[in-house]
């Protein structure tokens, strides 16, 4: 089960919080070698960070959304 939902440019993480991807300064990610999941961290200009865990397909979806919001480009290289 996904730990988040995307509606327009907003990522909703459980019942905890939501954020607009257009407000994200940059992202970092790391693959968990044991599970194959990715730990994605969204960094905001304020210094705050939000973390979620996703699989490879969800990572592509999030990176495409992030790139489109920042560059107007939805042709991200897939992992």
Tally of domains in the chain: 1
Residue 65 located in a structural domain: yes
Distance between CA 43 and CA 51 in Å, rounded? 9
pLDDT at 30: 95
Residue 32 located in a structural domain: yes
Q: Given a cut of 60, is residue 77 above it in pLDDT?
A: no
Going by C-alpha positions, the residue among 22, 56, 24 that lies closest to residue 39 is 56
pLDDT tens column, 51-60: 989 998 888 8
Q: Cβ of 24: how many Cβ atoms within 10 Å?
A: 22
pLDDT tens column, 16-65: 778 888 888 888 999 999 999 999 999 999 999 989 899 988 888 888 88
Strands 17-20 and 49-54: unpaired
pLDDT at 79: 37
Q: What does the block give as tokens for 65?
A: 């959304």
Q: What is the dihedral of CA 68, 70, 73, 79, to 10 degrees?
A: -80
Residue 76 located in a structural domain: no
Q: State the CATH number of the domain containing residue 25.
A: 2.30.29.30
């Amino acid at each position: 089960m996904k730990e988040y939902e995307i509606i327009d440019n907003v990522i909703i993480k459980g019942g905890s919080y939501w954020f607009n991807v257009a407000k994200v300064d940059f992202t970092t990610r790391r693959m968990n070698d044991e599970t194959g999941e990715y730990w994605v961290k969204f960094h905001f200009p304020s210094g705050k960070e939000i973390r979620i865990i996703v699989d490879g397909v969800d990572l592509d979806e999030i990176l495409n959304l992030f790139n489109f919001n920042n560059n107007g480009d939805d042709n991200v290289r897939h992992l």
